[in-house]
A and B are shown apart, each in its own frame.
Chain A
């Protein structure tokens, strides 16, 4: 009923408003600048310090991963171009490709590590932040081959990641932001509505990732919980990344809803409830999915995220006058 009432109003309502520019200036560009800075800091730290147990190196790693997480829902344009986002963040790895390919490089002492152009050709399973996590935290990979080769590999992955992040940020600033600011016939975006649809899709994709991948994968089923499928459990970042993703998605949702204060408040309240639910979980790796008391809290968080998804679909979508569109999680 609400949908029927709101729907015909969208053209009049949205014509004057332009959340697209605000989203670019307050959410997208700062997010990719942060990612560039944090991946550069990580690369510099890896050049200075190759000990996998080093606290500063691990800290720089966590900062870079969090920076990625806050833009991980923006997987179009500069993230999609030249496969940059895929190479910086290959996850989930359903078939265990990352340890397999890393082990192959280590045992072969593959010399791609000494040449950035050659390394950019390596399988994405052995590039990016998720591969780096194995080298820093996985018992088997972090002790395979020689320390010298592993160090070269860590530095190569970190430098490659900084380059990818730098290319994404540059592409956003120099090309893609302008393209989204001036939609028109013949353009990638033919109307302001298509720009908003892209951001709306990004929000929905991000929430879907949080609910189904970050939470749903480790939850598995009651009889078959799968804590080893949690994102970045080796580095203990699983829950932190859920918080980081929700925080960033909250920011985007409120910018999208900025023309409707009531809707903004509704969405903010739902995100805050989810973040509060997350803050009451004392389980960084989500290993608690396997015991009843831990599981019930993690399921509750998933439920809160699904409530946000529902509000976004049923209230925000019609408000913006855009349909769900297609995202990369469609399909199997």
Chain B
């Protein structure tokens, strides 16, 4: 061994020593703790939503409908911040469709406007209207929907006929039942369902108000139950926490995968760019409520707070601990600074969209053909997300995770699985 290599080895040792300062397991604990807090906050707000919806149904009025809508908007704030947990954690990803499936063919659930497309090549049940139809045939089987229960929604109607757009439950089904279709096209304004859709007796509008109320309650019960289950998966002893903690490298890969997949393929691609390029207001993520600007913002915030290991809870408490950022800063401070700066840039772009909405330009209007200002606002968010994904990708070699990342991908180990 030459003296030079000795020096090199010594340097390697010196460099390696501080890398142990941030314990990888502690980073994973922070990640799991934040997940638990986010799902608990989602659960708390879904219970508040349930109370408001029970109130709407027992005392239907303009005010009780408005209160239920406010409760739904509040419930989205913590939930959107959990989306960064989806793609890296199979337990979350397998479950997610139950609560946040989108986009939906809402005619499956309730009445729709005459301009609605009706059954399509892709979906024969796009205008089934379960609320108006107590008995029907579905994929060759007779269904008795006289009583609308959570089980009917989750086991029979959700993804009926194997079609993803048959979304019978979750936030967006509830959103549709609270707001109705947004018929304003690329103009301002959200859905405008009248509170009398829940009035009983002769005041009932659009028919079947009792069944509509039953549907809304069943969907809300299901949402609360599902969130309760997921919060438990991240608690001490929960399966999602155990899966993340089982292997340090695989756990770190899960964090990075969730951040990158949400940023790029899902948010920048499917949710933001595609809607813009199609000029289609129905491609808004929260299309009935016109809440898409907030939905995008909190998705982005979730990526950032997972990286920084710092989440502000609903009650104002800050949950913080050793983070992926700390870990990266020790091995590659330049990369950590780069990613933190890019996350800031994205958040500024997503905040600019919210500011424009507050200033009077609805997200639907930004999607309109020829709205250069709206296009620039949305594309700034898209570009920010794409750019941060490049840096997120760099975390893999920086943390020495290359080798493990060849494994554990469902699509590679079991190519058929991604299609199920």
Give the distance to chain A from B106, nearest Cβ to Cβ, in Å: 12
Q: Which residues of B lie under 8 Å from residue A212 when comparing CB positions?
A: 418-419
The yes or no answer to A329 lying at the interface (CB within 8 A) is yes
Q: Which residues of A contact B280 (CB under 8 A)?
A: 97, 123, 125
User: Do A310 and B415 contact each other (CB < 8 Å), given the known contacts A96-B120, A332-B266?
Assistant: yes
Residues of A whose CB lies within 8 Å of any CB of B are: 3-4, 7, 80, 83, 86-87, 90, 94-97, 100-101, 118, 121-125, 188, 190, 193-194, 197, 208, 211-212, 216, 220-221, 224, 226, 228-229, 306, 309-310, 313-314, 317-318, 321-332
Give residues 65-104 of B contacting A (CB, 8 Å).
87, 103
CB-CB contacts of B389-420 with A at 8 A, as 1s and 0s? 11011101100011101100101100110110
Q: 6 A-B pairs, CB-CB below 8 angstroms? A: A228-B121, A229-B122, A323-B393, A327-B265, A328-B265, A331-B265
CA distance A74 to B111 in the complex (A): 43
When C-beta atoms are compared, the residue in chain A nearest to B403 turns out to be A7
B-chain residues with CB within 8 Å of residue A332 when the two chains form the complex: 164, 266, 270
Q: A96 with B122: in contact, given A3-B403, A83-B273, A326-B265 (CB under 8 Å)?
A: yes
The verdict on A330 contacting B117 (CB below 8 Å), with A86-B273, A121-B370 known, is no
Given A123-B278, A124-B277; A326-B393 close (CB under 8 Å): yes
**Interface, chain B (partner A; CB < 8 A):** 87, 103, 117, 120-122, 161-162, 164-165, 260-267, 269-270, 273-274, 277-280, 282, 369-370, 386, 389-390, 392-394, 396-397, 401-403, 405-406, 409, 411-412, 415-416, 418-419
Q: CA–CA, A228 to B123, complex, Å? A: 12
Measured between C-beta atoms, what is the minimum distance from B278 to chain A in Å? 5
Q: Which of B117, B386, B397 makes the CB contact (< 8 A) with A193?
A: B397
CB contacts (< 8 Å) of B162 on chain A: these are: 220-221, 224
**Cα A301 to Cα B133 with chains together (Å):** 43
With beta carbons under 8 angstroms apart, the residue of B278, B386, B403 that contacts A125 is: B278
Inter-chain contacts of A125 with B (CB < 8 A): 278, 280
Residues of A within 8 A of B393 (CB): 197, 323, 325-326
> Is chain B's binding surface mostly helix, strand, loop or mixed?
helix
B370, B406, B411: the one contacting A317 at CB < 8 Å is B406
Q: How many A-B residue pairs have CB under 8 A?
A: 122
Residues of B within 8 A of A193 (CB): 397
Checking B270, B389, B418 against A326 with a beta-carbon cut-off of 8 angstroms, the contacting residue is B389
Which partner residue on chain B sits nearest A118 by CB separation?
B370
Chain A residue, CB-CB nearest to B261: A330
Chain A residues near B87 (CB-CB < 8 A):
330-331
Report the minimal beta-carbon distance from A150 to chain B, rounded to whole angstroms: 20
Please, how many angstroms separate the alpha-carbon atoms of A121 and B375 in the complex?
Answer: 10
Given known A193-B397, A324-B406, A326-B260, contact A96–B273 (CB-CB < 8 A): no
Contact of A97 among B164, B260, B278, B411 (CB under 8 A): B278
Contact status A306-B261, CB under 8 Å: no
Rounded to whole Å, the gap between the CB of A90 and the closest CB of chain B is 8
Q: Is the Cβ of A122 less than 8 Å from the Cβ of B369?
A: yes
Q: Are A328 and B269 within 8 A (Cβ)?
A: yes
Interface centre among A86, A193, A228 (most CB of B within 10 A): A86
Contact B409 A331, beta carbon cutoff 8 Å: no
